[in-house]
Copies of this chain bind each other. A is one copy, B any other.
Amino acid sequence: MRPQFILFGDSITEQSFSPGGWGAALADTYSRKADIIVRGYSGYNTRWAMFLLRHLFPLGCIKPPVAVTVFFGANDAALSGRTSERQHVPVEEYRENLIKIVHHLKECSSSMLVVLITPPPVDEEGRKEYARSLYGEKAMELSERTNEMTGVYANQCVELAKELGLPSINLWSMMQETVGWQKKFLSDGLHLTEEGNAVVHKEVVRVFNEAILCASEMPYDFPHNLEIDEKNPEKAFQQQC
């Protein structure tokens, strides 16, 4: 009965129901209004995400999701020749894959709200600290991602959203406007702290509100308990079921 919002992305989406996560916060915001379904795949880039598309969003679905957030790029932007090379996807292909994802989603439902989210900025020092905490002296001296290169992917994402007439959230530039973003928003130079999660939650709600998916204006799925007449409860349910 409730509309579905699907969160499609990589580990930053997969982890969005961990404590303070933006997905759980969204589920709370849309409590009794919409179902928030998480489809986050840790380590995935857009190339691997392509294999999931027809499974997660089958064509001809009777009740397609009303909104989908598409939140990739953090792994695509891993650098060639460094430790996460296997996840690297060239920026041109990242762009093409995003186009294919959007086209597929719009084929599922032309009225679906598709929101493109850029990867967050990268704190290279934080990545190195994290690698040292895992591998000690053996950790590579060079971060497997740079903030500059992730910015190239973020720009492509935002430019593409403009071309396609879709809303986007430029986390990469937005987060860097705050002094101390490196530790404030990122736990290991890449993934989000609770404050970083709060930024994503706030921005997704803002975009949904602008697209007339405002929680306060959406109906409850069943009568609010105060609308139920305790002497005649069936009345409220007859009206709203």
Contact = CB atoms under 8 A, between A and B. Distances in A.
Interface of A: 1, 14-15, 17-21, 23-25, 27-28, 31-32, 35, 37-38, 40-44, 47-48, 51-52, 55, 86-87, 222, 224-226, 228, 230, 233-234, 237, 241
Contacts of A24: 17, 19, 21, 24, 27-28
Given A1-B55, A19-B20, A41-B222, A228 B28 contact: no
Contacts of A19: 19-20, 24-25, 28
A222 B14 contact: no
Contacts of A51: 222, 233-234, 237, 241
Contacts of A225: 41-44, 48, 87
A179 B37 CA distance: 38
A32 B44 contact: no
A27 B38 contact: yes
A61 to B, nearest CB: 13
Nearest to A19: B20
Contacts of A87: 225, 230
Contacts of A27: 17, 23-24, 38
Given A27-B17, A225-B42, A47 B233 contact: yes
Nearest to A220: B41
Contacts of A55: 1, 222, 241
Nearest to A75: B225
Contacts of A23: 27
Contact of A228 (B32, B35, B48): B48
Nearest to A18: B28
Nearest to A11: B225
5 contacts: A19-B19, A31-B40, A41-B222, A41-B225, A48-B228
